[in-house]
Amino acid sequence: MEKKSAFLSAMKAVTVVGMVGLVACQSNESIPLVYDVENTGAGYALPVMPTVENLPVIKELPDALEGVKDFSDWSRRRSEIAAMIQHYGIGQKPAVNKEEQVKARMSGDTLIVDVTANGETLTLSSVISYPSEGEAPYPLMIGTSNISLPRDMFQSRPIATMTYRESQVNSYSQFFRRDGKTRGDYEFDRLYPELKDNGAYSEWAWGLSRLIDGLQLLGSEVTKIDTEHIGVTGCSYAGKMALFCGAFDERVALTIAQEPGGGGAAAWRVSHLMTEVESLERTDYNWFMESMRDNFKGENVYRLPYDHHELCAMVFPRALLLLGNPDYQWLADSAMQVSAEAAHKVWERFGVGDRMAWDIIGGHGHCQLHESQRPIVESFIDRFLMGKEEEEK
């Protein structure tokens, strides 16, 4: 009950004023800004996953840094968190050997990637919009479904952009089921029919990683893209998608999740205590495994061995910016506030707290950036896509 009181206090605070979580601290140059592989923890054995009835009741947010004594322990801990999120929440993001299973080519400015698994091939394509200034290779911002951030932020800088059309993997029409298809009938399912119970977010994250595979395979001389400076952003359901994509691929240098709502950065344990928000019981179960609702609804949410502050923490040590809008109650931004504060402790622990921030403010439309949020967004773009070294003060 003490923790419930603390959660509710945080909710009340965040719905009154917009808040920015930004800690200025000396960056530790030994902590990488990005990696050249999708998953540095791929070699670790998967942890044992207890059945729901054998999971302990955890009223407080689980410790994201459990077992972490120094930075060398983080890759293992991150792999444990990833395994739990996949096993209990979204389903498996299957590993791919890019040298053997992925082929890529450019057709004009269009990146085309063919991925083969189990005798089936899925083709992804995306047009790259190149800047009119600067010199290649260019940083790249990928929009999940779309880029809702003001386009002038990229057009005024030598940054390339592209849109990840997630419907090429698992159609957004799965949400409305207008096309007559049901779970298990989409492009991803041809390659992995055994994963038909997956939620869309594991599959969408898989697809974005295959585009990055293609960029790496072709190289900057062909694509004109600097693969050390790739960002991903999206808003609302696509804000969740951007967060999952950035969390599950360590080649993404900057993740900007705009108004991701419940199931994104918001902690399930906190939204459980709220009404009229996207909680674990009220989210869309085309996006998550239906077994998550069956297993963790009601008070069983406290048996969930992870929470979404740990999804956010998976982005560490790379850059993460969360943007909220408390005018839209459904987004559960109070729960995102609690989650952001808990996740930020991971960056702080290793002296790079200025790589993660959040800004929650109302007074603007859904997916319409508030003018007061522009400085922090542009700062993260300049630092983590453009590679500028100026530190936030």
Give the confidence band of 182 by pLDDT, cuts at 50, 70, 90.
confident
Q: pLDDT digit string (tens) for 273-302?
A: 999 999 999 999 989 999 999 999 999 999
Q: What is the pLDDT of residue 118?
A: 97
Q: Which of 148, 202, 209, 236 is catalytic?
A: 236
Listed residue (378, 390, 309) closest to 141, CA to CA? 378
**Kind plus residue range of the DSSP H or E element containing 140:** strand 138-144
- Asked whether residue 181 is assigned to any structural domain, the reply reads no
Give yes or no: 236 in active site. yes
80 has a pLDDT exceeding 50: yes
- Residues facing residue 123 across a β-bridge: 114
20 has a pLDDT exceeding 90: no
Q: What is the pLDDT of residue 176?
A: 52
HSE-up of residue 248 (Cα within 13 Å, Cβ side): 27
**Residues contacting residue 139 through CB under 8 Å, at least 6 positions apart:** 158, 159, 160, 225, 226, 229, 230, 231, 385, 386, 387
324 has a pLDDT exceeding 80: yes
If DSSP codes are grouped into helix, strand and coil, which group holds residue 356? strand
DSSP state of 178: T
Q: Which of 27, 220, 364, 366 is catalytic?
A: 366
Q: What is the pLDDT of residue 178?
A: 52
Give the confidence band of 304 by pLDDT, cuts at 50, 70, 90.
very high
42 has a pLDDT exceeding 60: yes
- Asked whether residue 192 is assigned to any structural domain, the reply reads no
Report how far residue 161's alpha carbon sits from residue 181's, in angstroms, rounded to the nearest whole number. Answer: 31
DSSP state of 48: P
Listed residue (264, 261, 289, 291) closest to 276, CA to CA? 261
- Residues facing residue 357 across a β-bridge: 321
Mean pLDDT, all residues of the chain: 91
Q: pLDDT digit string (tens) for 135-179?
A: 999 999 999 999 999 999 999 999 999 999 999 999 755 455 555
22 has a pLDDT exceeding 90: no
* Identity of the residue numbered 55: L
- Asked whether residue 18 is assigned to any structural domain, the reply reads yes
**232 in Cβ contact with 144 (< 8 Å):** yes
DSSP state of 300: G
- Asked whether residue 201 is assigned to any structural domain, the reply reads no
Looking at the structure of the chain, the number of domains it has is 1
- Residues facing residue 190 across a β-bridge: none
pTM as predicted? 0.92
Q: What is the pLDDT of residue 184?
A: 75
- Asked whether residue 169 is assigned to any structural domain, the reply reads no
Give the range of the structural domain holding residue 268, as residue numbers without chain letter. Answer: 2-87+137-162+227-384
- Asked whether residue 126 is assigned to any structural domain, the reply reads no
**360 in Cβ contact with 14 (< 8 Å):** yes
Give yes or no: 291 in active site. no
2 has a pLDDT exceeding 80: no
Q: What is the token pair recorded at 254?
A: 């900057």
DSSP state of 354: G
Beta strands in 305-379 (DSSP E): 319-324, 356-360
**273 in Cβ contact with 7 (< 8 Å):** yes
392 has a pLDDT exceeding 80: no
130 has a pLDDT exceeding 70: yes
271 has a pLDDT exceeding 80: yes
Q: What is the pLDDT of residue 172?
A: 58
- Asked whether residue 95 is assigned to any structural domain, the reply reads no
Task: Give the strand order in the sheet containing 138-144.
Answer: 19-21, 356-360, 319-324, 254-258, 225-235, 138-144, 160-164, 120-129, 110-117, 102-107
CATH code for position 346? 3.40.50.1820
Neighbours of 18 (CB within 10 A): 17
**188 in Cβ contact with 207 (< 8 Å):** yes
**Residues contacting residue 97 through CB under 8 Å, at least 6 positions apart:** none
Report how far residue 115's alpha carbon sits from residue 373's, in angstroms, rounded to the nearest whole number. Answer: 38
**Residues contacting residue 60 through CB under 8 Å, at least 6 positions apart:** 3
Q: pLDDT digit string (tens) for 227-263?
A: 999 999 999 999 999 999 999 999 999 999 999 999 9
- Asked whether residue 203 is assigned to any structural domain, the reply reads no
Residue scoring higher pLDDT (392 or 302): 302
